[in-house]
Amino acid sequence: MKKDIQIPEVTGVEMAVVYEYNDIYKTDDWNVYIINNKNVDLEMMVIVTQGFSDTKISSLFRKKLDKLPANSFAKIELIQPELFKLNNRFQVTFFEGNTLYEKTYMFKENTIKEGGLRMIDEIKKRGILAS
């Protein structure tokens, strides 16, 4: 029965878009990071991303991480500024122990911009956290 299904709340996991310098290409890039603020490893993490609006939709992007260690972060993808006009959704699923967790993070249209940057202590870079 539906009422018997327990859906645990995700805490201690954040998604950020970071504006940073790329030493290889000598450019300023926007990159997406997943941050694990928990004291336990997260396993079998799958992240599905897509940008959308009322009239446009971007391709689906999937990323798998076998393990995201406790109190760490990982770069997920480069995000193109053209996508900032869209809502950008990141659906994250992972195992913590034997429990499956799921959370959707959203960057609403036009919220990713240089004026919104702030220091994200966990990764020591300037970025924007998802709502």
pTM: 0.92
Alpha carbons 78 and 131: distance in angstroms, whole number: 19
131 against 20, higher pLDDT: 20
State the pLDDT confidence band at 2, using cuts at 50, 70 and 90.
Answer: low
Residues above pLDDT 70, as percent of the chain: 98
Q: What is the pLDDT of residues 33-45, one digit of tens each?
A: 999 999 999 999 9
| Average pLDDT for 98-104 | 95
Q: What is the pLDDT of residues 73-87, one digit of tens each?
A: 999 999 999 999 999
- Asked whether the predicted pLDDT for residue 11 surpasses 70, the reply is yes
